[in-house]
Amino acid sequence: MPGDDDDRRKLHGHAGEIAYAAIRDRLLRDEWPAGTRLLEADLAAMIGVSRTPVRDALRRLSNEGFLDYVANAGCRVKAFTAKDVEAAFDLRVELESYAARRAASRIGSPAMAALSSLCDQMEEVAADHVGEPRRRDRLTPLNQAFHAIIIEAADNPRLAPLLANLTSAPVVLRTYRSYTADEIARSMGHHRELIQAMQAGDADWAGAVMRSHIHAGYRAALRDTGLFGALAEDTQD
């Protein structure tokens, strides 16, 4: 019956989201070393769903860059190179500093209030040292929302799609986990300074702060993946 089909689709969709979230969370926490083969049957048993939603979740995570799909071998955890990290952050530096420059002369009061509220929330999370390092995972969606407001305020319809894949890349999403306490404090300071630059309508200031902010994440990402020095070696090959 049509109603039964709808119910089955809803259940499958819900199971797919559960599987996706569970696997993605483990990938972000580095529970599986790079190159680990992820087996549908094992994951289904671990998560408590059937293999079909797990298969869908693996396909989705492969499309998002978390996994490598190997023909006749399934999915393996992606190993990131120094060039992968460089590619993601080089583009972010240019595009997000451009966004900050444009936003400085265009952002409205409601967006400014939202940025300030997100700063308050991030600083509250950063000050809570219970549950390290998973506590830092709570910073990621707040940080993404902060940057999304600036990108939207830049008022360039082509910008958000260009940045969507970059800001959701695994090497970017894991950045806060690799930050030291001093680096988190500096990141929070960058956010506050970005707000000050936009309140002043100073495009050069906003762009410079954003550039420093993204560069700091780049260095942390290289350290997190153990790739300090690897980029220099790659460029000499």
Residues 222, 131, single domain; the answer is yes
Q: Where does a domain end: 37, 59, 77?
A: 77
Predicted pLDDT of residue 132:
63
- Comparing 21-25, 29-33, 114-118, 206-210, the range with the smallest average pLDDT is 29-33
Residues 126, 230, single domain; the answer is yes
pLDDT band at 229 (very low <50, low <70, confident <90, very high): very low
Residues 60, 90, single domain; the answer is no
Residues 88, 191, single domain; the answer is yes
Domains in the chain, number = 2
Q: Is pLDDT at 33 greater than 60 in this prediction? A: yes
Residues 71, 98, single domain; the answer is no
CATH label of the domain that carries residue 21: 1.10.10.10
CA distance 169 to 208: 23
pLDDT, mean of residues 156-178: 79
CATH label of the domain that carries residue 212: 1.20.120.530
Q: Where does a domain end: 24, 51, 77?
A: 77
- Residue 209: CB partners within 8 Å, gap ≥ 6? 100, 190, 193, 194, 197
Residues 58, 110, single domain; the answer is no
Residues 113, 19, single domain; the answer is no
Residues 36, 121, single domain; the answer is no
Predicted pLDDT of residue 134:
65
Residues 150, 102, single domain; the answer is yes
Q: Which of 112, 188, 174 is nearest to 137 (CA)?
A: 174
Residues 146, 45, single domain; the answer is no
Residues 172, 62, single domain; the answer is no
Strand partners, 77: 67
The overall average pLDDT reported for the chain is 85
Q: Where does a domain end: 17, 52, 77?
A: 77
**232-235: long-range contacts (C-beta < 8 A, 24 or more apart)?**
233/82, 234/81, 234/82, 234/83
Written in H, E and C, the secondary structure of the chain is CHHHHHHHHHHHHHHHHHHHHHHHHHHHCCCCCCCCEECHHHHHHHHCCCHHHHHHHHHHHHHCCCEEEECCCEEEECCCCHHHHHHHHHHHHHHHHHHHHHHHCCCCHHHHHHHHHHHHHHHHHHHCCCCCCHHHHHHHHHHHHHHHHHHHHCCCCCHHHHHHHHHCCHHHHCHHHHCCHHHHHHHHHHHHHHHHHHHCCCHHHHHHHHHHHHHHHHHHHHHHCCCCCHHHHHHHC
Q: Which domain holds residue 205?
A: 82-236
Residues 219, 167, single domain; the answer is yes
